[in-house]
Structure 1
Amino acid sequence: MAAKQLSVRETNIPGLVLLDLPVHGDNRGWFKENWQREKMTALGLPDFGPVQNNISFNDKTGATRGIHAEPWDKFVSVATGKIFGAWVDLREGPSFGEVFTAELDASTAIFVPRGVGNSYQTLEDNTAYVYLVNAHWSAEAQGEYTFLNLEDETAAIQWPIPLENAERSDKDLAHPRLADVTPMKPKRTLVLGANGQLGRALRLAMPEADFVGRDQVNLEAADPFAGVRFADYDTVINAAAYTAVDVAETAEGRAAAWAANVTGITKLAAAVAGSGITVVHVSSDYVFDGTRESYTETDAFAPLGVYGQTKAAADAIVATLPRHYIVRTSWVIGDGNNFVRTMASLAERGIDPAVVNDQVGRLSFTEDIAAGIAHLLQARPEYGTYNLTNEGPAESWAQIAARVFELTGHDASRVSGTSTAEYFKGKEAAPRPLNSTLALDKIEATGFVPRTAADALAAYLAQGA
């Protein structure tokens, strides 16, 4: 058998990839690298993380199996003999019903994505083929299979051995025609922290996702993910966190912050490790000490208080996952109690506030954070950390408060400035970074440029915040 070069060939079914495998033979027989993760992923094959290896042996020519679409990816290759393979896209979407056929021998393999129906007809006696899958078989998973009849007239597969002469199972004979097939739905996105400011914005940006609040997934619980079936998801967005910055400095608050922000995230990482799930985790400017004019994604952590320490620890945990986006933001404003709404209320009630003027940064509106997360999941740039705030010059809290007064029709001069030290004098409060400005070059290089904070603030207040 002449050795081929390892190569991949795209097919007319999205994600279905045919591979040529080098087979090295001599007077004793032959050898091949049936699955070689490093080489194959370098050629563009998905790093699908197989966890189970199955072998199908067929003693007679004409044994025909399928058409089965399973809820996992699989990598199929021939150990001995030859097969005719037919694949039909049974996934929900525009390629539903698309057909691809090919002959496979020891020098050929195929990657079959989740939801693409596969069937095989042996062309030689004593044929065996091997398939790797990236999920463990279970009776529950079998209930998610989608099937198509081998004789379906729409698919019109030209079987080398007529089906009336082929060996088939009774179950395969009973499978439905294409018109009666229920397409396999794609895996979904799970959002944790559904009822927070960002969670509510994500509901609008990603209405098709599944949303769970603290009553369903409590990161402080001993087993927070007991009710979650991660096999249904390809993405988890963590918008949940303990965020009571000042209370975190107390004995009770410190324990709660670490339980939710670190132990809970450790359990999330353990639950999804090796599953191929992409985790989006929301981080904070509090992982820095505020001594730099602007922070990039690669700057070293230097948290000042307990909350910042727990967020830095969580970032380090999430960064160990192969598929992760850490979205670092600051000064979050959305649908809920926040600084802007407080200032607007004070202005309306005739109260003239003294506002901190030595902390500078940018507001991050949840509408823009949610849009940025959606962009990352659609564009799929390199995994890692991305700063995400609104654009524009850094401002102090006092400057922002004055603009809120002005935009709501009040005298901006009613806002006076004060230092952080003076504002918190005599109060139990967490240390704050004095500069929270995050550089946006990295995310903007992916094609996402958020609104300026000034424009976002004006729009927010115009909506009646």
Structure 2
Amino acid sequence: MKKVLITGSNGQLGKALNQQLKDNKNFQVINTDVDELDITKFSEVNEFVKKINPNIIINCAAHTAVDICEKQKDKAYRINAVGPKNLSVTAKEIGAVIVQVSTDYVFDGKKIGKYTESDRANPQSVYGQTKWEGEEFVRKTNEKHFIVRTAWLYGDGKNFVRTMLQLAENSAEIRVVEDQVGTPTSAKEVAKVIMKLVETENYGTYHATCEGQCSWADFSEEIFRLSRKDIHVKRITSEEYKTAAKRPQNSVLDNKNLREKIGYSMQGWEDALEEFIAEKIN
């Protein structure tokens, strides 16, 4: 039986991984969140991890409040860059595999077409920059790594799907950006990918988003259609919806390595969303 240490286990992906692993007799899961383990402190990480001696560390911990990261640069750096480095260095010392969860925000969003794993990173926000630095630390400190980039994630917790449905309780019209495109991705589907990856030794960087693409406005309309809510989506531009952090206009990731190295394709975004709303919302 392999021991799996999950950091950030109270987040959407952490919860999805627990669901994925709950009936799997091949893995023993050890869950931690910030109250049990502060990944930004190397001595704490080193002592905790060596005591447990896991075979696999899956780092779901992150400072993901994109706009707040702009004001909390040091905190974002500690959690998104130093934290992964601490986990990766310690994993290397005990011969463990490290899985680092990353983001579409490592790209600038200016590419025409989908981003592959080999495209050059050019983050435009503190969140994106610190997540990229976290990736680089992991690459340089532990060859037994999987870096898993995802985007537009939703699952059990606060997310865009639930925000839209909450807004729909008090409004018949909701303004949503239409000039940013990406792929809504179920945490459940990403959890499946991670478990596929750790059963291999095909280490490296992987994109893991559901198949297809849409705008945030398209995503909203599909949420309301599946939830049977009569809401008008007013399509607006990014210019009309100012945010502290710059968002990539193109967040569409190509799961090239997943297809070619693992032989795995993820679910289409519409099907995954329909499944999520049927299970969690309706």
Q: TM-score, normalised by structure 2?
A: 0.92
| Counterparts of 2:215 and 2:181, CA distance in 1 | 4
SS of 1:282's equivalent? strand
Partner of 2:195: 374
- The answer (yes or no) to whether the contact 1:224–1:264 under 8 Å persists in 2 is no
Deviation string 1:309-367 (CA, Å, 9 cap, x unpaired) is: 00100111111211010001001100001101111222233341110111100011100
- The answer (yes or no) to whether the contact 2:49–2:90 under 8 Å persists in 1 is no
Partner of 1:457: 273
Q: Does 1:352 align with 2:173?
A: yes
AA in 2 matched with 1:430:
A
Q: Does 1:434 align with 2:249?
A: yes
AA in 2 matched with 1:389:
T
- The answer (yes or no) to whether the contact 1:191–1:211 under 8 Å persists in 2 is yes
| Counterparts of 2:58 and 2:3, CA distance in 1 | 11
Larger Rg: 1
SS of 1:233's equivalent? coil
Q: Does 1:191 align with 2:6?
A: yes
RMSD across aligned C-alpha pairs, in angstroms?
Answer: 1.6
If asked which structure has higher relative contact order (CA below 8 Å, sep 6+), I would say 2
After TM superposition, give the deviation of residue 230 of structure 1 in Å: 5.5
After TM superposition, give the deviation of residue 275 of structure 1 in Å: 2.7
- The answer (yes or no) to whether the contact 1:346–1:352 under 8 Å persists in 2 is no
After TM superposition, give the deviation of residue 408 of structure 1 in Å: 1.4
AA in 2 matched with 1:339:
F
Q: 1:418 aligns with which of 220, 229, 236?
A: 236
Question: In the TM superposition, what are the counterparts of 1:62-101 in structure 2 within 5 Å?
Answer: none
Deviation string 1:228-264 (CA, Å, 9 cap, x unpaired) is: 32562111110111111101111xx111101111122
After TM superposition, give the deviation of residue 227 of structure 1 in Å: 2.8
Q: Does 1:332 align with 2:153?
A: yes
Q: 1:343 aligns with which of 161, 164, 182?
A: 164
Q: Does 1:365 align with 2:186?
A: yes
SS of 1:246's equivalent? helix
| Counterparts of 1:232 and 1:267, CA distance in 2 | 15
Q: 2:129 aligns with which of 298, 305, 309?
A: 309
Question: In the TM superposition, what are the counterparts of 1:162-311 in structure 2 within 5 Å?
Answer: 186-207=1-22, 208-221=28-41, 223-225=43-45, 226-229=47-50, 232-250=53-71, 253-292=72-111, 293-311=113-131
Larger helix fraction of residues: 2
| Counterparts of 2:98 and 2:54, CA distance in 1 | 10
- What are the ranges of 5 or more consecutive residues in structure 2 without an aligned counterpart? 23-27
Partner of 1:405: 224
Q: TM-score, normalised by structure 1?
A: 0.56
- The answer (yes or no) to whether the contact 2:124–2:246 under 8 Å persists in 1 is yes
